[in-house]
Amino acid sequence: MIALIQRVMRADVRVADRLVAEIGPGLLALVCAERDDSDAEPGRLLARVLGYRVFADAEGRMNRSLTDVGGQLLVVSQFTLAADTRSGARPSFTPAAEPGRGRALYDRFVAAARRTLPDVACGEFGAAMQVGLVNDGPVTFWLQVKPIRALA
């Protein structure tokens, strides 16, 4: 699974001009399931998102996590993160999980986040969304966890 996280002052999601989610200071996580992801990847990716130290400590260094600062989380599905862009002028989305499987893994990610954090907002899986944000920094990181394969 992949997450593109952005430290934000605020962020929101709209579907057909209807506000469906918004947060104040925290992280916007664009999340994508890949074809070979197992049921273990959502939990592993969430641990990275929640523990990734992107907020300033007392000395101004990025040394505090979302959990440390008590920030909010906005989760938005974005299958295009899995695009293969190595050649041509049109991306291939074959690395992305098929929609049903992608939704199941996304839902696992969101459910685990809601068990961990008091403030989790979400976009609508598969919808055409307009995402607004004020990136704080700007600070943006690509996080990826790959399925753990048994050694042969």
| Exposed e or buried b per residue across 23-56, where buried means at least 16 C-beta atoms within 10 angstroms of its C-beta | bebbbbbbbbbbeebeeebbbbbbebbbebebbb
Token couple for 14: 């709209």
* Polymer length in residues for the chain: 152
| Cα–Cα distance for residue pair 85/91, rounded to 1 Å | 5
Sorted by sequence, the CB contacts under 8 Å of residue 131 that are 6+ apart come out as: 11, 12, 13, 28, 30, 76, 123
Given a contact cutoff of 8 angstroms between Cβ atoms, the answer to whether 73 and 119 are in contact is yes
Residue 80 a catalytic site member: yes
Residue 144 a catalytic site member: no
One of 79, 94, 116, 140 is an active-site residue; which one?
A: 79
One of 80, 109, 125, 130 is an active-site residue; which one?
A: 80
One of 6, 72, 78, 109 is an active-site residue; which one?
A: 78
Amino acid at 28: L
Residue 78 a catalytic site member: yes
Which amino acids are annotated catalytic? Answer: 78-80
